[in-house]
Amino acid sequence: MANVVVVGAQWGDEGKGKIVDWLSEQADIVVRFQGGHNAGHTLVIGGKTYKLSLLPSGVVRAGKLSVIGNGVVLDPRALVAEINLLAGQGVKITPENLRIAENVPLLLSLHQELDAMRESSGTTTRIGTTKRGIGPAYEDKVGRRAVRLMDLADPEALPPKIERLLVHHNTLRRGQGLPEIDPGAIFEELTSVAPLVLPYMDTVWSLLDGKRREGKRILFEGAQGALLDVDHGTYPYVTSSNTVAGQAATGCGLGPNAIGYVLGICKAYTTRVGEGPFPTEQNNDIGRRFGERGNEFGTVTGRPRRCGWFDAVLVRQTVRTCGIGGLALTKLDILDGFDAINVCVGYRLDGVAIDYLPAGERAQARVEPIYETIEGWRQQSAGARSWAQLPAQAIKYVRRIEELVGCSVALLSTSPEREDTILVHNPFES
């Protein structure tokens, strides 16, 4: 039985929540391995909608163990708020079904303030972040000045750690003409939340290694998308963590041999939130049609998503950088009723045809899509649960995408409802 990594194969918002929920029914453990509360998942189960940002999707299912790995940046206040929100929906979260890595770095109020300040400043490149403090928290982790969850268990050792953190942050604030942060305020912020989050702390690498040896099925849940990876994405318009599949191992302390299968999630078209290049973007009626029919608004921010045609060049690239073994193609039903559908099969850069997205920021902004036009379908694919229920032309569209990206479709989603899913092959049995 393969342990499965689920990653977004575009810029995020591909519908991972539904697919992860569908797979979590078969899993014993669901692990979040990167990102923070900037990435939202929407789950629809039995007519009830759950909106998660930080917690693994497995928490809404009884009998599943959810784990937050060391690759995440944890806002303890956001965690407590999300636990309380789910409690109001009848979902009970305890240390029995949620564990958090002891070495996870904490995201504090000062990180959120710094993120918002940078995004509002006219002196730096606007990335289009969620202003949740994710980037500054990762900077402190890499800078070796982060406060980690385990530090809350030893309050007497906190003051020097806070001082080390504030040497950096107060220097930045003085440069921006902002008041310095009082160490006592950070100490109070940490110690007040400590009793609420410490019960979930665990040595996650050891826990997961033991579960793996027992033969438990582990589902690694990625946030955002591979094109937002800090190394392999559209830099600098990326997130501050690695979002590719390889991070699943690093972000929870297991070796790469723990990963058996990588499932990439992508929409039947393309969307993006925030700034940055988007070769197939449609700033026209087609883009608005995608947005309206697909309800394309960010789960966390509510921001409207930019929409465009399916970009096979980008998905083919993420298939390779993530080692994707199969795709879950979502929102096929949004294409119902189009007379013709364009698919990007290559780019032109300064008049030269290329088959990849270049790494340079200026080159990415100049690429022009090369389209192949595919006949659309008038019949309804929405709600289909078998190939036989799909319009013939919709099947041709799916098969052409498989050819262009070099990867087969493992699951096909035709509505937000979890039952409206066509299973080609089960990732856990691959």
Task: State residue 252's pLDDT score.
Answer: 97
Task: State residue 46's pLDDT score.
Answer: 73
Question: For residue 239, which of 26, 36, 93 has the smallest C-alpha distance?
Answer: 36
- Give me the residues of the chain with pLDDT under 70, please: 1, 121-129, 299-301
Tokens of 4: 């499965």
Neighbours of 324 (CB within 10 A): 27
Q: What is the dihedral of CA 192, 194, 197, 201, to 10 degrees?
A: 180
pLDDT digits (tens, 9 = 90+) for 395-409: 999 999 999 999 999
What is the three-state SS of 80-116? Answer: HHHHHHHHCCCCCCCCCCEEEECCCEECCHHHHHHHH
Task: State residue 125's pLDDT score.
Answer: 62
Task: State residue 124's pLDDT score.
Answer: 60
| % pLDDT > 70, the chain | 97
Catalytic: 41? yes
The rounded distance, in Å, linking the Cα atoms of 41 and 13 is: 8
- Which letter does DSSP use for residue 181 in this model? P
Task: State residue 353's pLDDT score.
Answer: 98
Stated pTM of the model? 0.93
Residue of 21, 37, 41, 111 with catalytic role: 41
Task: State residue 122's pLDDT score.
Answer: 61
Q: Report the side by side order of strands in the sheet with 29-32.
A: 201-202, 98-101, 65-68, 29-32, 218-221, 4-8, 261-267, 326-330, 409-413, 421-423
pLDDT digits (tens, 9 = 90+) for 294-313: 999 876 667 789 999 999 99
Residue 368, amino acid: E
Catalytic: 232? no
Peptide bond before 369: cis, by omega within 30 degrees of 0?
no
Burial of 3 (0-12, 13-18, 19+ CB in 10 A): buried
Task: State residue 44's pLDDT score.
Answer: 73
